[in-house]
Structure 1
Amino acid sequence: MANIQIRKYRDDDAEAVKEIFTLGMSEHVPSSFMHILKQPLTQMVLMVMFCALMASSKSFLLPILAATLFLAGTRQFVVYVFNRYLETSYRKDLNRIREFYLQQKDSCFWVAESDGRVVGSVACLPAVGEPGCLELKRLSVRRSHRRMGIAKALCQTVADFTRERGFPAVVLYTFVVQTDAQKLYEHIGYEKIREIALSELVAKILNFTLLEYRLYVQRDGKKD
């Protein structure tokens, strides 16, 4: 991790942090699209539509065209959902990081800097659904700086902060399609606790779930 510095967020980091987060989230569009295509309901709809159009038109052209339009529409739906998620994230905290993280008790926001350029970020705050724990949020690293140990170092920064504040564990939530993130968390010691079904009807139908992970940083007052 030569020339990498992890430091607290400054106001002039705002645009870089949002850019890194946006690019990172956009990488999950293809995996989310493939996740939807693998669902039995999606495959059933495609098959029924193809067979019905094939039987009525006596031609391959119309069902193939309809299937292509269906797939294109599904991908646009995924893009729409992710754009809505980005808008919600900006509105909730990324447009007011100092207020949301740095001015609140037991909360913080860090960036990873390489040669004067922000290349990663992470944050934590008290976990709403898990009293007595801190929640890791907004972990993201530029693609050009991955596999350099930056994400691991950012996670360790949160773990150290959690331990220093006297909390026993860090929790985090990640989407089922974020497989690379899941491998990272498990590699550094996080345990998968449960899967959480989202409340939205479409998410339930498409089996789009959240995974909860937990890292114990101290047990009985002792460091692991």
Structure 2
Amino acid sequence: MSDYKIRAYQDSDYKVVRELFSAGMSEYVPSICIHVLKQPWVLFVLTCMFICLLASSKSLILPVLAVTLVLALGRQLLGYFWEMYLDHCLKEDLQDISKTYMHSNGSCFWVAEADESVIGTVAAKPSDEKEDELILKRMSVRKDFRGLGIAKALSREVIRFARKGGYRSVTLNTLMVQHEAKRMYESVGFKKYIEFILPTVYGKLINFTISKYRFDLLNAE
């Protein structure tokens, strides 16, 4: 495997950075579907539908087909909502990466590069809530380059940037399905300090949990 280097974002990286973000986030759709399927009310509805159809039709085929159809439709619906979220991100801070991160005070965007190809990304911007807090965002590593410590190196790049900028802490958000990401951040030194359900009808309906992590720069010195 080739060595990699971490450097500042360039405008020529624009297309591949957006593609890398979309591909990485799209990998979570199956996990989100399983998460939704495990919700008690979902299991209850599917079970009731199966029993009712089985009792009324006197056949196993109809309820099996009906549940299969509902699951397929649910998968498509979740995929649609997830695509909407990705599209929102691409039209938000990733619409003009240079303006958002490279030309704004206290912000930066890095890429990890191997064999002249971008294989990882991470960004940082000041928190809107606390002046001395930096937010780590847009962490992504290409699938075939994972497990090499690239994500850890990108995380430490943000931490160095925060320390140089005089910030007291670095924070980030993770989703309930990002198990590997959580373990990686914890190995770097981030600690979970709050967990909450997304305060929307959709979030409450499927128990869409967000965990916030913090790296305390004062304690790390």
TM-score (norm 2): 0.96
Does 1:140 pair with 2:140?
yes
Secondary structure at the aligned position of 2:140 is classed as strand
Size of the alignment, in residue pairs?
A: 221
Is the 1:133–1:169 contact (alpha carbons within 8 Å) kept by the matching residues of 2?
yes
Q: Provide structure 2 residue ranges, at least 5 long, that are not aligned to the other structure.
A: none
Q: Which runs of 5+ in 1 are unaligned?
A: none
1:52 and 1:174 map into 2 onto residues whose CA distance is 39
Contact 1:163 1:218 in 2 (8 A): no
Distance verdict in 2 for CA 1:131–1:66, change over 3 Å:
farther
Q: Give the CA deviation at 1:2.
A: 5.3
Q: Does 1:33 align with 2:15?
A: no
- Distance 1:73-1:129 versus aligned 2 partners, 3 A rule: farther
Matched, 1:64 2:64: yes
State the alpha-carbon separation in 1 of the partners of residues 130 and 39 from structure 2: 31
Q: Is the 8 A contact 2:191 2:213 kept in 1?
A: yes
Partner SS state of residue 78, structure 1: helix
Change (3 A) 1:64 1:199: same
Q: Counterpart of 1:160?
A: 160
Correspondence 1:89 to 2:89: yes
Amino acid at match of 1:86: L
How far residue 218 of structure 1 moved from its aligned partner, in angstroms, is: 2.2
Please identify, of 80-89 and 196-205, the stretch whose mean Cα deviation from structure 2 is larger: 196-205
Partner Cα separation in structure 1 for residue 93 and residue 140 of structure 2: 15
Q: Is the 8 A contact 1:126 1:135 kept in 2?
A: yes
RMSD over equivalenced CA pairs, Å: 1.2
193 and 183 in structure 1: CA distance in 2 versus 1, 3 angstrom threshold: same
TM value normalised by structure 1: 0.95
Q: In percent, how many aligned pairs have the same letter?
A: 44
Does the CA contact (< 8 Å) of 2:122 and 2:140 recur in 1?
A: yes
Q: 2:2·2:115 contact (CA, 8 Å) conserved in 1?
A: no
